[in-house]
Chains A and B, each alone.
Chain A
Amino acid sequence: MKNEITLQTRREFLRTTMLGSALSWTVPAFLASTFDALQSEAADSATQIITGKDSTILVVLQMAGGNDGLNTVVPFADDNYHRARPKLGLSEQQVLSLNGETGFHGAMTGFKSLYDSGNLAVVQGVGYPNPNRSHFRSTEIWQTASDSDKVEKYGWLGRYFDNACSGADPMVGVTIGNQTPEAFFAKAPKGICFNNPQNYRFISNNHPRPGQTDMTEAAYEKMNAVDTSAPAADENSGGTIGSLAAGMPMQGGSVTDFIERTALDAQVSSDKVREIAARVQSQATYPASQLGNSLKLVAKLIGGGLPTRIFYVSQGGYDTHTNQIATQQRLLKELGDSVQAFVEDMKAQGNLQRVLVMTFSEFGRRVAENANGGTDHGAAAPMFIVGNKVKAGLLGRYPSLATQDLHQGDIKYTVDFRNVYASVLENWLKTKSAPILGRQFEPLQLV
């Protein structure tokens, strides 16, 4: 048939960027039209992504809930700080001093050692104009890189996929978690997500022994393989689906086409992910926490050669309205130790020069503590950039805490987060940032 393209091997299928198993594959008409384009792109971008040992990798680490930046990178020498925080304020003895004025929270020994070894940059006072104090809205602003009074449909990483990774393997974006983050929303959605590699699979009830063929699983695999034995033109797929979901429009094809593609992505990535997770050994000791496990998994996937450019992990619990001291202590220790272990693991693998970790939180917290031993939603806060190519040290300047310099009790930002994104896109992922961020933001000198 004219509309069919038969792919002989899995390798060829992967290289041409659609995924399959070791069967002989046929691709339906809706894919065939774009196939030529995919194949030519596969020769450069996709093939490079798949085989390239040089491709850079970005790990985005979300600190969800709004981390109290002031007690993370602490201006312990500033009287304004102690006046605003009689109970929560940290003294010089309680911090890991960086320069005699500023220091990390005492629990962040992991970050301190990364800082000392030249692998960590602190971007101080990051925020955006007209800050929003709603978790949802501010998270959305960070995820879509929008102005605070504009709503963007797509995420900044989704726009990166659309602009710079067309035709790439679906595994180009990997989220460790249940839900695709809004940052990944795209015109042509890409990326896979999963929580636990053990359960990231179709599981039959038969407990087959290794090597044994399970009939249920075999049937599932075939029933989820795109094939053309059905009528070539689906009678439903006449027009394009302009705005299918409020949040995530999709172009072309029917809803079933989209799910078929996702099913194929799931099938092949599940095999691959589990194979790598079982084969690759960790070469560092991670804290037994959710973030530790996520980064451990990311390290395995990098070591196993997954063709991923963007990994997304998150750590929750930073919304410390009450009893902040104990909670933040635990979270920051987990953060520092997990990232430190990840860096060691990358170094042992020989992949550290390819990897950059970037943290963000939707906002910092108010300068003044509240009456419940906590802090309420605020504005600007520091970001951390980790890797052996970073310009290590304290970047930007610490925003003033003098009362007259605050805006409604909040720190005024000194760096727009989109200047950080611009740097990550241009200097690390090597792509133009303006089409992705909507306009030109001056890249910060980060790497």
Chain B
Amino acid sequence: MLKPLSTSRWSFETAAHLLNRAGFGGSPAANQKLADLGPDRAISLLLDYELIPDSTPDPAWAKPDPEGEKALREAAQKATPEERRQIQQQQNKFRYERMLELRWWWLNRMAKGPRPFREKMVLFWHGHFATSVEKVHEPYFMWRQNELFRRLATGNWQQLLVEAGKDPAMLIWLDQAQSRKEHPNENFAREVMELFSLGEGHYTEKDVTEAARALTGWSLDRPNEKFIYRPFFHDNGVKTFLGRTGNLDGDDVIAQIVAQPQAARFITAKLWNYFAGQYPSDELNIALAAVLRGNENNFKPFLRIMFRSGEFYDASIMRNQVKSPVQWLVSSVRMLECDLPPAPISWGMTRSLGQDLFAPPNVKGWDGGITWITTNSLLDRYNDAATLVQGTFPSLTASDFARKPGGPGGQKIEKAVQRLHIGGVNVEKILTPEERASKDQLVASLEHRLLQLPLKDGQEKALNDFLDSKAQLNDADVLTAVRLVMATPQYQVT
């Protein structure tokens, strides 16, 4: 189990697999670079990201603002009901704009940033701890949690659980902020075991109530927008939790959880599923968990061994994972060397495809896998590809422009679309003049760039028939060909 992949199997295909899974894919040149480096250095280039500078600035509002909060509270107190409503509306508008900015900021870190593997881990932890702005409301808290996942992306399991539990967004999301010794709230106490660390069946209901008692005191200092331990809220009685007895507190609860062998099995299975696309066999899971525990529950050395293992490059693993909507969008941008569509469009795409960042559907996170694909979302992906590549809105075009050519409604929409400035793909950037001149070379180049494997014969023939129907290939035709390759079942898979 987990023996290193033989160096002789290292190739463009395995390198592309690594970059697709441990990152968000890349151009043929980026894949080739990893192929040339060999497996150890390729993995190191992704995982040892501390060596690569990342100077992405934080959003301007991403800092605590106790003064502003205070002023707002005081204004609301003095206000008439009508004024209070206006203040609330203004607040909602700010929050909406900030969340739009935050999603765009994060998507750009994935699509353009120098540390794609770290962002891929941030996305994992976001799906794992599945906290939604729908309940938390405050963009600053959502950003702060996102930064926590970035800071501890490949850190220590116990430290991450403790800090995630004390994180303001989490304190709100799972009601820990409201927990008092008189009425311990069990929401976080339950989910931290069921969904974050052990899974159902590995603790009792009694463990939940005892953990809830021990966790009392973990609270939120709302005016100063940070965690606070409130001794007065804490239940100082004796609790028995997962076999340990004493005046336990929240840190003891997390320590006791991580001491369970199941904690390593649980998280390594979930990580394997995230990167490999399916849950591991029991045998593989045991081996994975042993590696994590053997490395004092630190994720970085565990992930290095995982990405180096032969199992990770097995034929049943490669090209057998559905791209999540975020993966679909971000990897398309990386592979096509273009820009993300403007913030509202990037958000709209990921949301309509089923993955609204910072707003997972529930505390379980996104189910993922084949649940990303419905008849509707598949056609949406095919049509969104046109927006991304050609900078157009085919759905608007069909239902609005075509039906009322030149009519007032059509013009209005046309102008709105023009204002959004979707760049689309630059043909000259992704194809050489020779590739654009020869249909065979064009098709081969697109397959290599977008799929890292050939289309099926029937698909290739259909694409060639399309190209043959054009007397002379112009850039628009080439872009249509790009979109057609993206509108295949294979392109939804990585």
B489 in the interface (beta carbon within 8 A)? yes
Which of chain A's residues have a CB closer than 8 A to the CB of B322? 255, 259
CB within 8 Å for A202 and B362 given contacts A216-B484, A223-B455: no
Of the candidates A202, A219, A224, which one forms a contact with B489 in the assembled complex, judged by CB atoms under 8 Å apart? A224
Minimum CB–CB distance for A437 against chain B, Å: 21
Question: Using a CB-CB cutoff of 8 Å, which residues 207-231 of chain A contact chain B?
Answer: 207, 215-216, 218-220, 222-225, 227, 229-230
Residue of A with least CB distance to B321: A255
Q: Are A178 and B484 in contact (CB under 8 A)?
A: no
CB within 8 Å for A255 and B354 given contacts A193-B375, A203-B395, A227-B458: no
Of the candidates B319, B375, B383, B487, which one forms a contact with A223 in the assembled complex, judged by CB atoms under 8 Å apart? B487
A151 in the interface (beta carbon within 8 A)? yes
CB within 8 Å for A224 and B487 given contacts A136-B361, A203-B394, A203-B398: yes
Minimum CB–CB distance for A273 against chain B, Å: 10
Q: Are A248 and B383 in contact (CB under 8 A)?
A: no
Q: Are B493 and A238 in contact (CB under 8 A)?
A: no
A375 in the interface (beta carbon within 8 A)? no
CA distance A255 to B370 in the complex (A): 7
Minimum CB–CB distance for A243 against chain B, Å: 5
Q: Are A218 and B466 in contact (CB under 8 A)?
A: yes
Of the candidates B321, B375, B465, which one forms a contact with A194 in the assembled complex, judged by CB atoms under 8 Å apart? B375
CB within 8 Å for A223 and B354 given contacts A203-B383, A235-B315, A259-B373: no
Q: Which of B320, B383, B489 lies at the interface centre, i.e. has the most chain A CB atoms within 10 A of its CB?
A: B489
Which of chain B's residues have a CB closer than 8 A to the CB of A242? 278-279
B369 in the interface (beta carbon within 8 A)? yes
B397 in the interface (beta carbon within 8 A)? yes
Minimum CB–CB distance for A362 against chain B, Å: 12
Of the candidates A219, A238, A243, which one forms a contact with B315 in the assembled complex, judged by CB atoms under 8 Å apart? A238
B474 in the interface (beta carbon within 8 A)? no
A266 in the interface (beta carbon within 8 A)? yes
Minimum CB–CB distance for A177 against chain B, Å: 8
A247 in the interface (beta carbon within 8 A)? yes
Which of chain A's residues have a CB closer than 8 A to the CB of B390? 205
Residue of B with least CB distance to A216: B480
Q: Are A223 and B462 in contact (CB under 8 A)?
A: yes
A164 in the interface (beta carbon within 8 A)? no
CA distance A331 to B225 in the complex (A): 37
Q: Are B463 and A219 in contact (CB under 8 A)?
A: yes
CA distance A307 to B139 in the complex (A): 46
B432 in the interface (beta carbon within 8 A)? no
CA distance A410 to B370 in the complex (A): 38
Q: Are A179 and B354 in contact (CB under 8 A)?
A: yes
CA distance A194 to B374 in the complex (A): 9
CA distance A194 to B376 in the complex (A): 5
Interface of A is mostly: loop
Which of chain B's residues have a CB closer than 8 A to the CB of A247? 364, 367-369, 371
B67 in the interface (beta carbon within 8 A)? no
Q: Are A263 and B466 in contact (CB under 8 A)?
A: no
A91 in the interface (beta carbon within 8 A)? no
Which of chain B's residues have a CB closer than 8 A to the CB of A230? 456-458
Residue of A with least CB distance to B273: A246
Question: Using a CB-CB cutoff of 8 Å, which residues 258-279 of chain B contact chain A?
Answer: 273, 277-279
Q: Are B315 and A203 in contact (CB under 8 A)?
A: no
Which of chain A's residues have a CB closer than 8 A to the CB of B383? 199, 202-203
A394 in the interface (beta carbon within 8 A)? no
CA distance A189 to B457 in the complex (A): 28
Q: How large is the interface on B (under 10, 10 to 19, 20 to 34, 35 or more residues)?
A: 35 or more
Of the candidates B278, B376, B462, B466, which one forms a contact with A178 in the assembled complex, judged by CB atoms under 8 Å apart? B376
Q: Are B320 and A255 in contact (CB under 8 A)?
A: yes
A239 in the interface (beta carbon within 8 A)? yes
Q: Are A245 and B368 in contact (CB under 8 A)?
A: yes
A99 in the interface (beta carbon within 8 A)? no
Q: Are B277 and A255 in contact (CB under 8 A)?
A: yes
Q: Are B386 and A205 in contact (CB under 8 A)?
A: yes
Of the candidates B200, B392, B398, B493, which one forms a contact with A256 in the assembled complex, judged by CB atoms under 8 Å apart? B493
Minimum CB–CB distance for A373 against chain B, Å: 12
A195 in the interface (beta carbon within 8 A)? yes
Type the 1/0 row for B186-201, where 1 means its CB is closer than 8 Å to any CB of A.
0000000000000010
A180 in the interface (beta carbon within 8 A)? yes
Which of chain A's residues have a CB closer than 8 A to the CB of B458? 222-223, 225, 227, 229-230
Residue of A with least CB distance to B319: A236
Question: Using a CB-CB cutoff of 8 Å, which residues 98-146 of chain A contact chain B?
Answer: 136-137
Which of chain A's residues have a CB closer than 8 A to the CB of B316? 236, 238-239
Which of chain A's residues have a CB closer than 8 A to the CB of B465? 215, 218-219, 222
Minimum CB–CB distance for B450 against chain A, Å: 13
CB within 8 Å for A262 and B373 given contacts A215-B469, A229-B456, A243-B278: yes
Q: Are A193 and B376 in contact (CB under 8 A)?
A: yes
Interface contacts (Cβ under 8 Å), in number, total 185
B345 in the interface (beta carbon within 8 A)? no
CA distance A270 to B374 in the complex (A): 13
Which of chain A's residues have a CB closer than 8 A to the CB of B367? 245-248
Q: Are A202 and B321 in contact (CB under 8 A)?
A: no
CA distance A242 to B376 in the complex (A): 25
Residue of B with least CB distance to A270: B379
Minimum CB–CB distance for B241 against chain A, Å: 21
Minimum CB–CB distance for B24 against chain A, Å: 18
CA distance A245 to B399 in the complex (A): 35
Which of chain A's residues have a CB closer than 8 A to the CB of B320? 236, 241, 254-256
Question: Using a CB-CB cutoff of 8 Å, which residues 336-393 of chain B contact chain A?
Answer: 352, 354, 361-364, 367-371, 373-379, 382-383, 386, 390, 392
A244 in the interface (beta carbon within 8 A)? yes
Q: Are A265 and B401 in contact (CB under 8 A)?
A: no
Minimum CB–CB distance for A205 against chain B, Å: 6
A401 in the interface (beta carbon within 8 A)? no
Q: Are B487 and A202 in contact (CB under 8 A)?
A: yes
CB within 8 Å for A223 and B463 given contacts A238-B315, A242-B279: yes
B11 in the interface (beta carbon within 8 A)? no
B91 in the interface (beta carbon within 8 A)? no
A444 in the interface (beta carbon within 8 A)? no
A379 in the interface (beta carbon within 8 A)? no
Which of chain A's residues have a CB closer than 8 A to the CB of B368? 245-247
B14 in the interface (beta carbon within 8 A)? no
B295 in the interface (beta carbon within 8 A)? no
CB within 8 Å for A262 and B487 given contacts A136-B363, A242-B279, A255-B322: no
Q: Which of B278, B370, B377 lies at the interface centre, i.e. has the most chain A CB atoms within 10 A of its CB?
A: B370
CA distance A229 to B461 in the complex (A): 10
Of the candidates A223, A243, A259, which one forms a contact with B493 in the assembled complex, judged by CB atoms under 8 Å apart? A259
Q: Are B278 and A248 in contact (CB under 8 A)?
A: no
Of the candidates B200, B354, B375, B484, which one forms a contact with A151 in the assembled complex, judged by CB atoms under 8 Å apart? B200
Q: Are A215 and B377 in contact (CB under 8 A)?
A: no
Residue of B with least CB distance to A268: B375
A260 in the interface (beta carbon within 8 A)? yes
Residue of A with least CB distance to B469: A215
A269 in the interface (beta carbon within 8 A)? yes
Residue of B with least CB distance to A244: B369
Minimum CB–CB distance for B465 against chain A, Å: 7
CA distance A392 to B352 in the complex (A): 40
Q: Which of B273, B374, B402 lies at the interface centre, i.e. has the most chain A CB atoms within 10 A of its CB?
A: B374
CB within 8 Å for A198 and B457 given contacts A189-B370, A219-B465, A248-B369: no
Of the candidates A136, A222, A255, A262, which one forms a contact with B378 in the assembled complex, judged by CB atoms under 8 Å apart? A262
Of the candidates A222, A225, A239, A248, which one forms a contact with B370 in the assembled complex, judged by CB atoms under 8 Å apart? A248
Minimum CB–CB distance for B169 against chain A, Å: 17
Which of chain B's residues have a CB closer than 8 A to the CB of A227? 456-459
Which of chain A's residues have a CB closer than 8 A to the CB of B92? none
CA distance A239 to B466 in the complex (A): 36
Query: Apart from A246-B369, A247-B371, A259-B370, what are 4 other A-B pairs with CB-CB below 8 Å?
Result: A136-B363, A199-B383, A247-B369, A259-B493
In the complex, 14 of the A-B residue pairs with CB atoms within 8 angstroms, ordered by the A residue number, are A178-B354, A180-B371, A199-B383, A207-B402, A219-B465, A220-B484, A222-B459, A236-B315, A241-B320, A255-B321, A255-B322, A256-B320, A258-B373, A270-B379
Closest 5 CB pairs of A and B: A245-B369, A247-B367, A222-B462, A136-B362, A230-B456
